[in-house]
Amino acid sequence: INAEYMGQRIQLFAMFARKIGSRVLASMLGLGGVGYMMSSFHKEKGIMRCAGEQQKNVMPEVWGRSQKCEKVKMPERLVLCWGNGNKPLAEEIAAHLGTKLANATVGKFNDGELNIQIKEQVRGKEVFIIQSVCPPVNDNLMELLLLISTAKRASAKGVTAVIPYYGYARQDRKVTSRVPISAADVAKLLETMGLDRMIAMDLHCGQIQGFFSPQVPADNLDGSTVLLEHILKTDSFFGDPTKVVVVSPDAGGVNRAKKFQEMLLTHGYHNAGLAMIIKQRKAASQIERVDLVGSVEGKDCIIIDDIIDTAGTVCEAAKELKQKGAKKVYVYASHGLFSGDAYKKISDSVVEKVIVTNSIPLRADAPKDKITQLSVGVLFAESIRRTFQKETISLMFKQFPNNLNYIT
């Protein structure tokens, strides 16, 4: 409230009094208006002062991403369904949310057809279906489609697909004639079944979110925050914190590597560098030649990728980095498929350690001395809780430079 505004209000009081023909009333209303405006001014000034003091005392919302999340409110309105793609992760998510997985049958009939049944009421409830579209890819994708259809036909209020690993994501464009854009086709299949929302992590490319229509929002969680917390919590993860280089294994992953480099820069690794491997392929999953752009001599390197399939790319990249003078080479990938003889390649390679998330289950023969698996259960549990309770997801990835207190 300023002086000009107060004057206008007093004039209005006086004009009203003159209209009814009373000078005495005009004076009384004028004085009353002044008193009213002054009291309002002091009242609002006091409120603003209190609000300002409260605002100074309010700290940014903090969430301990790595160890815990809040329990979900009104769990009776939430239904967590699951597929066989990654049931252990689904059980972990349910435990973090303080609820249980839905009673359901997800199996096969004798002839190989899928047998799907949700054995509890979902009418009017929010249903979240947790399913990784990992090998066997087509079986897991079909499970997801039929689970969505089942929930919609049972009158669920909303159906959200939680897809830790989005299969077919690498087929995101036409690289030659007469081939499908399978990532877009999978999105259309999910929409056709009646999907209302999709939550994934580290999609192979960001445009996959655009393959879904505006009626089906798609959230892409950043799994590299889990790696960052692992590095910050591990004593002497890098031998010399001043000699660290983040490496992209190909030109397409430069933005991903640059983003992680920036995260390191804001958390104490002030000299973290950036390098890139340029690879030439003979055919899919066959590397002909690799070249390095950047300096890695005498430094610890961490290769940042989204998917490890046959492990040929990362093993060749690590070999090239070692030849260029790198001390140690670490590899991080959000999704570890480890197809074919990938485990053997990693065991025989110069890679110090391969770090992946549990978006895809490891096989029993995985070399435990070479492969470390980080959990993203809390990451997905918190995103589900925030989606269910209509809260923002972006605060989950807010950075607090040079302040590690948020990791609780």
CA 300 – CA 307 distance, rounded (Å): 21
Using an 8 Å Cβ cutoff, are 164 and 132 in contact?
Answer: yes
Structure tokens at 153: 């036909």
Structure tokens at 24: 């005495």
* Catalytic entry in 152, 157, 258, 279: 279
CA 333 – CA 353 distance, rounded (Å): 11
Structure tokens at 361: 């289950």
CA 211 – CA 183 distance, rounded (Å): 8
Nearest to 239 by CA among 247, 231, 230: 231
State the number of CA atoms in the 13 A half-sphere of 309 facing the CB: 11
CA 184 – CA 186 distance, rounded (Å): 5
Residue with structure tokens 């001014």? 41
CA 284 – CA 41 distance, rounded (Å): 72
Classify strands 104-108 and 328-336 as parallel, antiparallel or unpaired: unpaired
Nearest to 221 by CA among 70, 376, 374, 72: 376
Task: Please confirm, yes or no, whether 279 is among the known catalytic residues.
Answer: yes
Q: Rounded to whole angstroms, what are the CA distances from 260 to 18, 233, 244, 263, 408? A: 71, 16, 12, 5, 21
Q: What is the largest CA-CA distance in the chain?
A: 101
Catalytic residue annotation:
279
